[in-house]
C-alpha cells in the first residue's frame, strides 16, 4: 500500500539478501549442504555400513568406500552421514535448551526483579564457576551405561543455559526501561504479555545469534566428551569416530583418511556456524552493516 516494492521475483530478493549479508548466506548454504549430506546421503548410500564389521577394515578411499574404512570395518562415508546428523542433533537439543531456558529466566529476572532476579543471578553466578567439562566428565562416567546422543545432549543442556541467561538478562534490563514497555504497563498489559509480545520480538536477532553460539558450544562439548571416550559407544557420532581413531592409533599407522573424515566434517560445521553467527550479528547490530555499493 504505502510500501513501494519494485515488481521482481523472489529470486531477486534472495540475490539482494545474499549481497547484503554474504556471511549469513554462505553459512546457511554450508549448513544446508551438511543437512543434505546427512539426510539425502542415506538415499544413495547404504548407511548400515556405518556399523562395525560391514566392510573390510583399514582400507584407503576407493570407489567402493570413497572415504575409506576404519580398522573395525566401518564404512567412513556412512559413518560420517550418520554422525553428522547425530552431532547436529546434540547441538540443537542442548543449544535449544540453553537458549529457551536462558531467555525465560533472563526475561523473567530482568522484568520482575526482586527476589526472583536475585535467585536467578545467584544460581547463574555460582553455576558459571563450575568447570563445564569437569561436570560433564563426572556425570558422563557416572552414567556410562545408558548414554546415547539424546541423554548427552540433555546433560550438556543442564549447563548450557547459564551464560545465555546472564546475557539475555542484561539485554532485557536495558529494554525494560524502554518507553513502549512502560506504556504497555500503563495500558494494563500483564507481565508475561509484555515479556512475550513487547520485549521478546525486539531481541529476536540476538536470541537467534545466542542460539547459534549455544549450538556450537554444545557441539564442542559433545565432541570433547566423545573423544575422551565418554560418548555413546554404539553410535558413530563425529566425536566417537575421533575416539576410535585415537584408540586405534590411526596417526601412527598412517590411516590419514580416518583422521580426515570427522575433522573435515567438523571444520565445515564450525565454519558454517561461525558464519551464521556473525551474519546474525550484523542483523542484530546495525552498526556492523557495511554500505552497499550501488
Q: What residues line the site for other proteins (CB under 8 A)?
A: 1-2, 178-180, 182-190, 193, 197-198, 201-202, 204
Minimum distance of other proteins from residue 198's CB (angstroms): 6
Of the pair 181, 242, the CB lying nearest other proteins is at: 181
Q: Alpha-carbon distance 291 to 294, whole Å? A: 9
Residue 47 corresponds to which cell in the numbers above?
A: 548407511
Minimum distance of other proteins from residue 10's CB (angstroms): 20
Minimum distance of other proteins from residue 9's CB (angstroms): 22
Residue 144 corresponds to which cell in the numbers above?
A: 556410562
Q: Alpha-carbon distance 5 to 76, whole Å? A: 50
| Structural contact between residues 284 and 209, judged by C-beta atoms closer than 8 angstroms | yes
Name the residue among 252, 228, 257, 248 with its Cα closest to residue 240: 228
Of the pair 110, 156, the CB lying nearest other proteins is at: 110
Of the pair 152, 203, the CB lying nearest other proteins is at: 203
Of the pair 9, 201, the CB lying nearest other proteins is at: 201
Q: Which residue has the cell 582400507?
A: 59
Q: Alpha-carbon distance 165 to 169, whole Å? A: 6
Residue 216, number of CB atoms within 10 A of its CB? 18
Q: Alpha-carbon distance 83 to 235, whole Å? A: 8
Minimum distance of other proteins from residue 5's CB (angstroms): 13
Residue 218 corresponds to which cell in the numbers above?
A: 554444545
Of the pair 49, 210, the CB lying nearest other proteins is at: 210
| Distant-in-sequence, close-in-space partners of 206: CB < 8 Å, separation ≥ 6 | 168, 171, 284
Local structure of residue 51 (DSSP, 8 states): S
Of the pair 138, 183, the CB lying nearest other proteins is at: 183
Minimum distance of other proteins from residue 286's CB (angstroms): 12
Local structure of residue 178 (DSSP, 8 states): S
Minimum distance of other proteins from residue 195's CB (angstroms): 13
Amino acid at each position: 500500500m504505502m510500501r513501494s516494492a519494485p515488481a521482481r521475483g523472489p529470486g531477486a530478493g534472495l540475490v539482494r539478501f545474499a549481497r547484503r549479508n554474504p556471511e549469513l548466506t554462505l553459512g546457511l548454504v554450508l549448513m544446508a549442504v551438511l543437512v543434505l549430506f546427512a539426510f539425502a546421503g542415506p538415499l544413495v548410500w547404504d548407511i548400515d555400513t556405518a556399523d562395525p564389521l560391514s566392510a573390510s577394515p583399514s582400507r584407503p578411499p576407493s570407489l567402493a568406500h570413497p572415504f575409506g574404512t576404519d580398522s573395525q570395518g566401518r564404512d567412513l562415508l556412512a559413518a560420517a552421514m550418520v554422525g553428522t546428523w547425530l552431532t547436529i542433533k546434540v547441538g540443537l537439543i542442548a543449544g535449544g535448551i540453553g537458549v529457551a531456558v536462558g531467555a525465560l529466566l533472563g526475561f523473567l529476572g530482568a522484568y520482575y526483579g526482586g527476589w526472583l532476579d536475585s535467585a536467578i543471578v545467584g544460581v547463574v553466578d555460582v553455576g558459571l564457576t563450575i568447570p563445564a567439562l569437569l561436570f560433564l566428565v563426572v556425570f558422563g562416567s557416572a552414567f556410562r551405561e545408558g548414554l546415547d546422543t539424546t541423554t548427552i545432549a540433555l546433560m550438556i543442556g543442564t549447563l548450557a543455559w547459564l551464560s545465555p541467561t546472564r546475557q539475555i538478562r542484561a539485554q532485557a534490563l536495558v529494554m525494560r526501561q524502554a518507553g513502549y514497555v512502560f506504556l504497555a504497563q500503563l495500558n494494563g498489559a500483564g507481565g508475561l504479555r509484555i515479556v512475550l509480545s513487547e520485549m521478546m520480538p525486539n531481541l529476536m536477532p540476538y536470541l537467534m545469534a545466542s542460539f547459534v553460539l549455544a549450538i556450537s558450544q554444545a557441539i564442542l562439548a559433545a565432541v570433547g566428551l566423545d573423544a575422551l571416550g565418554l560418548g555413546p559407544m554404539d553410535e558413530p557420532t563425529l566425536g566417537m569416530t575421533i575416539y576410535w581413531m585415537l584408540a586405534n592409533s590411526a596417526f601412527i599407522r598412517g590411516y590419514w583418511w580416518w583422521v580426515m573424515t570427522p575433522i573435515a566434517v567438523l571444520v565445515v560445521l564450525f565454519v558454517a556456524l561461525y558464519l551464521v553467527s556473525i551474519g546474525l550479528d550484523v542483523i542484530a547490530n546495525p552498526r556492523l552493516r557495511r554500505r552497499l555499493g550501488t
